[in-house]
Amino acid sequence: MSTDTVGQAATGTVPHRRRQQVRVRILTLTGVAVLLVTTYLFTDVTGSWDYVVQLRARKLAAMLLVAVAVATATVLFQTVTENRILTPAIMGLDSLYLLIQTVVVYLFGASALVATEPTLQWTVEIVVMVLFATALFRWIFTGAGRSIHLLVLVGVLFGVLFRSVTHLLQRMIDPAEFAVLQDAFFASFSVQPQLLGLSAATITLATVGLLLIGRQVDVLGLGRAHAIGLGVHHRQLVAAVFALVAVLVAVSTALVGPITFLGLIVANLAYHLIGSHLHRHTVPAAILLAVIFLVGGHLLLERIFDLGTVLAVVIEFVGGIFFIILVTRKGAR
């Protein structure tokens, strides 16, 4: 890594021409996102205008919240792990979410899952996922090795364990109840209105936390040795970033369900399009790309192709192919 790059990360500056290019590209992404949002809200309205727009606005709000949470969490996670083919899903939080749903149905029946008050269910899911992530971090990162890569590896193993237990319990569930449980396996943006306010407040607090440590996170992206050499308290900063990632992923997952590959796609596209290492550039670009993917995807599936396919299924399919491409390219270097 060049001395200029280290200096720019430490001071948070980029050359004037590059800064102008970044601004133009972010403004372009913003324009595309606004156009798609406007099109989604106000076109092809049949029936009661107020009812349709209100329904769409609620769904749009869920998409915007998920875009902010997933994109931000993925960029931060890749910075901490120094690896652009990893996503927070590798820590097993998505698998833990599915395990929670399955355990509830197995112990109390599908009626309990449907009848549970949405706010209570949302709160319990977030608390369990954040507590798991925090306990995992304290267990691994307070040891002698203090390796973020060991943390990721243990997270992968827990994810496999959660999936194995989930599949075992699902085999013992009544088929009729399993049909109800199946809805939790895929992300759905038709959410309860009260959950939008809670999710928005939590994501806003996490975003404020990111703004407070933004410049230090830029330096963290240079690697542990460079960050320590530039005066960053590496362990404390990694703990703060990991906590933000855990909260954002937990909120997104509890709100709409698991979306494994969305963050991987938008984060890597943001790196490619923006060409900046500063998080104040890459994070907004990734968020705008996530909005474009989610809103544009719903427009394509619902308005143009008139398909009932869940968008999350398409994202997982495209994301899986994208992941394979990234791995093969990385391995070929």
pLDDT digits (tens, 9 = 90+) for 84-123: 888 888 778 888 888 988 898 888 887 877 778 888 888 9
What predicted TM-score, i.e. pTM, was given to this entire model? 0.86
Residue 146: how many CA atoms within 13 Å on its side-chain side?
Answer: 8
pLDDT digits (tens, 9 = 90+) for 218-228: 787 777 777 77
Measured CA to CA, the distance from residue 45 to residue 30 in angstroms comes to 24
Nearest C-alpha neighbor of 71 from the set 213, 220, 210, 238? 210
Measured CA to CA, the distance from residue 262 to residue 244 in angstroms comes to 18
**CB within 8 A of 184, min separation 6: which ones?**
97, 98, 101, 113, 257
Nearest C-alpha neighbor of 74 from the set 83, 87, 65, 84? 87
Looking at residue 3, its pLDDT comes to 43
pLDDT digits (tens, 9 = 90+) for 115-168: 788 888 889 989 998 898 888 877 776 655 556 777 778 888 888 899 999 999
Token pair, residue 73, equals: 């969490």
Looking at residue 4, its pLDDT comes to 45
Looking at residue 9, its pLDDT comes to 52
Q: Report whether pLDDT(6) > 80.
A: no
CATH topology classification for 88-259? ABC transporter involved in vitamin B12 uptake, BtuC (1.10.3470)
pLDDT digits (tens, 9 = 90+) for 226-261: 777 777 777 788 888 888 888 999 999 888 888 878
Mean pLDDT computed over every residue of the chain:
82
**CB within 8 A of 137, min separation 6: which ones?**
151, 239, 242, 243, 246
Residue 109: how many CA atoms within 13 Å on its side-chain side?
Answer: 3
Q: Where are the domains of the chain?
A: 18-32+260-333, 88-259
Looking at residue 12, its pLDDT comes to 52
In this prediction, what percent of the chain has a pLDDT beyond 70?
89
Coil, strand or helix: which one is 148?
A: helix
Looking at residue 164, its pLDDT comes to 92
Q: Report whether pLDDT(13) > 60.
A: no
